[in-house]
Amino acid sequence: MQKVLARGGLGSRREIERWIVDGKININGKIAKLGDQLVEGDLLRLNGRVVDWQKYAKQPTKVLIYHKPLGEVVTRRDPEGRPVVFSRLPKLAIGRWIAIGRLDINTQGLLLLTNNGELANRLMHPSFEIDREYAVRILGEVNEQLIKKLTQGVELEDGEAHFDDIQYSGGDGANKWYHVVVSEGRNRLVRRLWESQDKVVSRLIRVRYGPVVLPENLKAHCYHDVNEKELRVLFNLVGLPQESSNAPSQSRVNRGKMLRRRK
């Protein structure tokens, strides 16, 4: 039961287990218990609302690579009327797209989305330490001492943080480009780490999430589906069993390459 409901994006398995313990899930008129199995035809209610759980059990997993531009927000509806990433995505016959992590309005680049809630939760969970790589343009001088400090760790308002790796990648004048890697998804972490050292981030682009890289030919506002081989890499990364087959993918660009996860 937890697997099916997590698959539909209703929550993580751990959250759903809490709902079961709290008596929020009902099967065929009886309060569900941990270990209960769902059988075809079962009527499931969550907080009194009927859940069509069987459609989640049958849908094939899909994962999208989306190139988020500046100015878009990762939310379904924005009260300020700003453009949202979900309005750019293809429609799903079953379920909904779930963002794997977020990018703030001033950050562009790779955003992964899936219709598999369990896959999304695992790819975001701190225990898997999925690394993220960013291209960042810094205004100001960056010396070896500063790089050492940022990789060893600095104290932020929500605890110590650090870059796993920092590599210089060029630039002219006062602006220099660096590629940085982090293994956690704290809010605005890359910006806050640089700003803690009085450095200005003038541009920030996520170029990799785990083994998935942003294809060079994928323009802003565009997306493409990962193929079955690439999807297997993601399932293996987070310890999920493989699916027997997946629906044919539809893409608005040529396929991008996958990279092995950095150690």
Q: What is the CA radius of gyration of the chain?
A: 20
CB-based contact 142:133 (threshold 8 Å): no
Strands (E), the chain: 25-27, 30-31, 44-46, 49-51, 63-68, 98-100, 108-114, 132-139, 154-156, 159-161, 165-170, 175-182, 200-209, 212-213, 223-225
Q: Count CB atoms within 10 A of the CB of residue 119.
A: 24
The total number of residues shown for the chain amounts to 263
Distance CA 22, CA 131 (A): 34
In a domain, 8, yes or no: yes
Helix-strand-coil percent breakdown of the chain, rounded to 5?
25, 30, 50
pLDDT computed for residue 245 by the predictor: 52
Q: Which helix (H) or strand (E) holds 233?
A: helix 228-237
Same domain flag for 105 and 201: no
- Asked whether residue 205 falls in the same domain as residue 229, the answer is no
Is residue 175 assigned to a domain? yes
Residue 84 lies in a domain: yes
* Catalytic residue set: 104
CATH of the domain at 98: 3.30.2350.10
Q: Residue 176: in which H helix or E strand, if any?
A: strand 175-182
Nearest to 94 by CA among 53, 134, 65: 53
Average pLDDT, the chain: 88
- Are 141 and 186 in a shared domain? yes
Chosen domain end from 58, 73, 98: 58
The answer as to whether 255 is a domain residue is no
Give the pTM.
0.80
In a shared domain, residues 96 and 223: yes
Domain identity same for 67 and 188: no
What are 177-205's pLDDT values in tens digits?
999 999 988 889 999 999 999 999 999 99
What pLDDT sits at residue 244?
A: 64
Does residue 165 lie in a domain region? yes
User: Which residues are 160's β-sheet partners?
Assistant: 155
Domain that holds residue 155: 131-209
The answer to whether residue 244 is domain-embedded is no
Tokens of 243: 């699916």
Q: For residue 76, what pLDDT is reported?
A: 87
Number of domains in the chain: 3
Q: How far apart are CA 149 and CA 102, in angstroms?
A: 26
Judge if 99 and 109 occupy the same domain: yes
Q: How is residue 79 written in tokens?
A: 């009260």
End-to-end CA distance of the chain: 34
Say if residue 76 is in the same domain as residue 121. Answer: yes
Q: In 22-143, which residue ranges form alpha helices assigned H by DSSP? A: 53-58, 117-124
- Pair of tokens at residue 145: 């001492």
CATH number, domain with residue 49: 3.10.290.10
27 with 97, same domain? no
Same domain, 196 and 135: yes
Say yes or no: 140 and 104 in one domain. no
Listed in sequence order, the residues at least 6 apart from 69 whose beta carbon sits closer than 8 Å to its beta carbon are 108, 220, 221
Is residue 148 domain-shared with residue 205, that is, in the same domain?
yes
Q: Does 93 lie in the same domain as 50?
A: no
Element (H, E) at 137: strand 132-139
Confirm whether 75 is domain-assigned.
Answer: yes
Residue 253 lies in a domain: no
Burial group, residue 49, by CB count within 10 angstroms (0-12, 13-18, 19+)? exposed
pLDDT under 50: residue ranges of the chain = 246-263
